[in-house]
């Protein structure tokens, strides 16, 4: 009864945890990976919105390697009012893919869509992003005086360094220079491939050495166990040969048991055979009481 109650409690706990993880929105677990990435305060001849208008805009960057839904979070330009603009939920636009971007327009026209905020940067130099509870600060930026059509952003997406960017990059990587890959860096360090060859050979020979040691030790252990089995068998056979009263059936049973043990045809058992000798020395199948008493007609 106690075991049954424990099983029921464990099952109920597992079901409860599964429901909690299923109901809880995904963005509440990874929303802290979002970053305010680029800001344009004075938009005179720069990026236009879906209405063809030029206004201030804010780029949000998802620094995680999984999708993050920004729906339900808050953007504000007032540190005393963290819930100034709540980003609507249930819209596919709010799902930011891994290492991707989403641009909001600070034009004070929220009726134009969910990406249009209810504030501007005319009387403030502050922008912040809050989590869905309206209390957890995810990211904030104090914006210095800006030049028209020049964005203020992170030197590298998600980094700590903020600079005046040479090019505006809405919905794109802030760093527009040549990106040196790891392979190109390695070519500079090892132009002739000598280091690469030595590394590859060391890995191969190390693997072969490990395989040799493993097989050698495995063979040694197998040989030791085999010698133990044969020594036990010799002791059993020698003890059997010394006892002259053992019948042929018993010898056959012992030989079969040893064969099965060495061939591993059965589960592990103790290597001790117990034989109980019966009092009668005849087989009941040879008794006349079990044969026909009358000749068949």
User: 117: closest CA among 134, 105, 126?
Assistant: 105
* Residues β-bridged to residue 223: none
Shared-domain flag, residues 199 and 109: no
Q: Is residue 185 part of a domain?
A: no
Alpha-helical (H) ranges within 141-193 are 182-189
How distant, in Å, are the alpha carbons of 52, 130, 136 from that of 121? Answer: 19, 18, 23
Whose tokens are 């019948």? That residue is 247
Q: What angle do CA 47, 49, 52 make, to 5 degrees?
A: 95
Q: Tell me how crowded residue 54 is: count the other CB atoms within 10 A of its CB.
A: 17
Shared-domain flag, residues 200 and 234: yes
What is the overall mean pLDDT for the chain? 82
Shared-domain flag, residues 167 and 58: yes
pLDDT at position 44 over 70: yes
Q: Is residue 290 part of a domain?
A: no
User: 231: closest CA among 271, 175, 283, 266?
Assistant: 271
Shared-domain flag, residues 203 and 269: yes
Q: Are 71 and 89 in contact (CB under 8 A)?
A: yes
Shared-domain flag, residues 142 and 15: yes
Kind and range of the H or E run holding 202: helix 194-242
pLDDT at position 227 over 70: yes
pLDDT at position 289 over 70: no
What's the pLDDT at 182?
78
Q: Is residue 287 part of a domain?
A: no
Shared-domain flag, residues 172 and 206: no
Structure-token pair, residue 281: 């020395």
Residue 19: helix, strand or coil by DSSP?
helix
Higher pLDDT, 238 or 64: 64
How distant, in Å, are the alpha carbons of 37, 71, 135, 165 from that of 132? Answer: 19, 8, 8, 30
pLDDT above 90 as % of the chain: 49
pLDDT at position 282 over 80: no
Shared-domain flag, residues 144 and 33: yes
Shared-domain flag, residues 46 and 143: yes
Annotate 42-68 with DSSP letters as a single string: --SSS-B-TTS-B-EEEEEEE-SSS-E
pLDDT above 70 as % of the chain: 74
Shared-domain flag, residues 157 and 224: no
HSE toward the beta carbon, residue 109, CA cutoff 13 A: 12
User: Domain total for the chain?
Assistant: 2
Annotate 233-280 with DSSP letters as a single string: HHHHHHHHHH-TT--HHHHHHHHHHHHHHHHT-S----S----PPPS-
What's the pLDDT at 51?
93
pLDDT digits (tens, 9 = 90+) for 103-135: 999 999 999 999 999 999 998 999 999 999 999
25-34, 69-78, 160-169, 172-181: lowest mean pLDDT where?
A: 25-34
Name the burial class of residue 42, with classes exposed (0-12), middle (13-18) and buried (19+) by CB atoms within 10 angstroms of its CB.
middle
Domain encompassing residue 211: 194-279
Shared-domain flag, residues 114 and 245: no
What's the pLDDT at 287?
62
Task: Tell me how far apart the alpha carbons of residues 26 and 64 are, in angstroms, rounded to a whole number.
Answer: 13
Boundary residue ending a domain (118, 147, 177): 177
User: What is the Rg, in whole angstroms, of the alpha carbon atoms belonging to the chain?
Assistant: 41
pLDDT at position 24 over 70: no
pLDDT at position 23 over 60: no
How distant, in Å, are the alpha carbons of 78, 136, 151, 153 from that of 142? Answer: 11, 18, 14, 12
């Amino acid at each position: 009864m106690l075991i049954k109650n424990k099983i029921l409690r464990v099952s109920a706990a597992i079901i409860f945890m599964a429901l909690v993880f299923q109901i809880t929105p995904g963005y509440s677990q990874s929303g802290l990976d979002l970053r305010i990435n680029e800001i344009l305060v004075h938009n005179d001849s720069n990026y236009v919105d879906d209405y063809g208008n030029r206004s201030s805009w804010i780029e949000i960057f998802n620094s995680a390697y999984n999708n993050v839904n920004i729906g339900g979070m808050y953007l504000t330009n007032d540190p005393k009012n963290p819930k100034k603009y709540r980003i609507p939920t249930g819209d596919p636009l709010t799902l930011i893919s891994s290492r991707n971007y989403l641009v909001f327009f600070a034009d004070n026209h929220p009726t134009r869509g969910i990406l249009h905020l209810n504030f501007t940067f005319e009387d403030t130099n502050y922008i912040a992003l809050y989590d869905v509870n309206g209390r957890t600060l995810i990211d904030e930026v104090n914006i210095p005086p800006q030049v028209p059509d020049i964005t203020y952003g992170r030197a590298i997406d998600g980094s700590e360094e903020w600079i005046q960017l040479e090019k505006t990059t809405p919905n794109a990587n802030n760093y527009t220079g040549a990106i040196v890959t790891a392979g190109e860096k390695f070519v500079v360090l090892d132009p002739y491939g000598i280091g690469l060859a030595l590394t590859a050979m060391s890995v191969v020979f190390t693997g072969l050495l490990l395989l040799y040691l493993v097989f050698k030790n495995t063979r040694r252990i197998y040989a030791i166990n085999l010698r133990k089995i044969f020594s036990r068998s010799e002791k059993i056979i020698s003890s059997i040969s010394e006892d002259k009263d053992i019948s042929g059936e018993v010898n056959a049973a012992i030989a079969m048991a040893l064969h099965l043990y060495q061939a591993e045809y059965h589960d592990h058992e103790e290597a001790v055979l117990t034989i109980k000798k019966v009092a009668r020395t005849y087989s009941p199948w040879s008794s006349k009481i079990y044969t026909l008493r009358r000749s068949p007609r």
